């Protein structure tokens, strides 16, 4: 039955996120940091695999580039557009606005730091022994993957959104399900999404529960297109175009994995998302030109 794979994928995100929330704050911060870095390395590894699979082709005994020049151009143009409009910042602000706990946790963190600072200053003025400060209190807990964190909610929303949507398996899987009812790709993606959302919810709260909304919108648009225009859609999304989108998604995963594994805010993976539109617009332009030439 068509559409089953899409429903399973959505449920995997919601169920994985729900279980992750149940375990949020249960692990020590040190172990959560390790898991977060490992998850980033895994994402980076998936990006490497996807990139090498779709960017290169083995011809005989030689490794050759597969026509991916358009993907490179799309990444450059997409990055320029993303940084010009600061798409990463926009999504972070959206994630922050979705977190009801964000303001309260910022205030709580500010009071904690202020109380700790005053205690140390009083001890210094009296010449008394400085109070012992725990390891946790000496760190910016607001930025840590724990029950104290609030800003990580926005990061979790951003990262999960990119992981769920900037994925070649999303496009190919939904199309396979919508056109033929083949759920193989989506079931594989669902298993990955379950693990990702479980971990991200454990670090960042309910962020994946909100990040699934853009994925549902993309699913719905592609699925409706498969139902209404199956022949035209399958003819439009050629293997070449799907390969271009896969390369773009792989590069974005590489950037995102680097951010998560090494805690580096640059490069900003979300700013590359506009690159997906370039090959699609190019294909539409070529289709239009072909039809105009045919009429003449």
Given a cut of 50, whether residue 142 has pLDDT beyond it is no
Say if residue 270's pLDDT is above 50.
yes
Evaluate if residue 258 carries a pLDDT over 60. Answer: yes
* Boundary (domain end) residue, out of 149, 183, 213: 149
- Taking the C-alpha atoms of residue 263 and residue 8, their distance in angstroms, rounded to an integer, is 32
| Mean pLDDT value of segment 62-75 | 70
Mean pLDDT estimate for the chain:
79
Range of the domain at 125: 100-149
In sequence order, what DSSP letters do the residues of 81-150 get, joined into one string? HHHHTTHHHHHHHHHHHH-TTHHHHHHHHHHHHHHHHHHHHHHHHHTPPPPP--TTTTS-GGGSSSTT-S
Residues 104 and 237 in one domain: no
Pure H helices in the chain: 4-22, 29-55, 69-84, 87-98, 102-126, 151-165, 168-180, 184-204, 207-228, 230-236, 239-262, 277-295
DSSP label at residue 27: S
pLDDT score for 11: 92
For residue 65, the 8-state DSSP code is E
Residue 116's pLDDT band (cuts 50, 70, 90): confident
Q: Is the domain of 11 the same as that of 75?
A: yes
Whether residues 182 and 44 share a domain: the answer is yes
Which of helix, strand or coil describes residue 251? helix
pLDDT in tens, 168-211: 788 888 888 888 888 888 998 899 889 888 888 887 777 778 88
What integer pLDDT is reported at residue 180 of this predicted model?
85
What are the two backbone dihedrals, phi and then psi, of residue 137, each rounded to the nearest 5 degrees?
-70, -20
Domain boundary among 115, 149, 183: 149
Q: Which residues contact 20 (CB under 8 A, 6 or more apart)?
A: 197, 198, 199, 200, 201, 202, 203, 208
Cα–Cα distance for residue pair 6/219, rounded to 1 Å: 7
Q: 86 and 65: one domain?
A: yes
Same domain, 22 and 80: yes
**How many domains, the chain?**
2
Same domain, 221 and 110: no
Report the range of poorest mean pLDDT among 79-88, 140-149, 164-173.
140-149
Tell me: cis bond preceding 80? Omega within 30 of 0 counts: no
User: End of a domain among 90, 125, 149?
Assistant: 149
Question: 114 and 248: one domain?
Answer: no
- Is 64 exposed, middle or buried (CB count within 10 Å of its CB: 0-12, 13-18, 19+)? exposed
Range of weakest confidence among 57-71, 142-156, 217-231? 142-156
Residues 23, 36, single domain; the answer is: yes
Global pTM reads 0.76
Q: How far apart are CA 70 and CA 76, in angstroms?
A: 10
Both tokens of residue 58?
Answer: 């083995």
108/93 same-domain check: no
Same domain, 67 and 166: yes
Query: Residue 166 class from Cβ within 10 Å (0-12 exposed, 13-18 middle, 19+ buried)?
Result: buried
Shared-domain flag, residues 176 and 248: yes
Looking at the fold, whether 188 and 171 belong to one and the same domain comes out as yes
């Amino acid at each position: 039955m068509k559409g089953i794979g899409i429903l399973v994928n959505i449920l995997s995100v919601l169920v994985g996120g729900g279980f992750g929330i149940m375990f949020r704050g249960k692990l020590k911060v040190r172990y959560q940091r390790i898991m977060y870095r490992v998850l980033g390395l895994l994402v980076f590894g998936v990006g490497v695999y996807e990139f090498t699979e779709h960017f290169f082709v083995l011809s005989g005994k030689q490794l050759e580039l597969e026509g991916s020049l358009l993907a490179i151009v799309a990444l450059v143009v997409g990055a320029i557009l993303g940084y010009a409009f600061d798409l990463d910042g926009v999504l972070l602000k959206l994630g922050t606005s979705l977190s009801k706990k964000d303001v309260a946790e910022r205030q709580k963190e500010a009071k904690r730091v202020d109380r700790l600072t005053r205690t140390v200053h009083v001890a210094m003025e009296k010449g008394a022994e400085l109070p012992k400060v725990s390891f946790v209190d000496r760190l910016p807990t607001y930025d840590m993957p724990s029950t104290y964190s609030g800003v990580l909610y926005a990061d979790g929303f951003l990262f999960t959104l990119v992981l769920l949507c900037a994925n070649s398996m999303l496009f190919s899987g939904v199309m396979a399900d919508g056109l033929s009812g083949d759920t193989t790709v989506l079931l594989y993606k669902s298993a990955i999404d379950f693990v990702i959302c479980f971990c991200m919810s454990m670090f960042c709260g309910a962020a994946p529960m909100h990040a699934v909304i853009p994925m549902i919108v993309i699913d719905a648009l592609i699925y409706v297109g498969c139902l209404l225009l199956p022949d035209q859609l399958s003819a439009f999304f050629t293997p070449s175009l799907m390969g271009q989108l896969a390369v773009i998604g792989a590069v974005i995963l590489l950037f995102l994995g680097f951010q998560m594994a090494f805690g580096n805010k640059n490069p900003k993976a979300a700013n590359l998302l506009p690159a997906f539109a370039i090959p699609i617009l190019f294909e539409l332009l070529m289709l239009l030109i072909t039809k105009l030439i045919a009429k003449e």
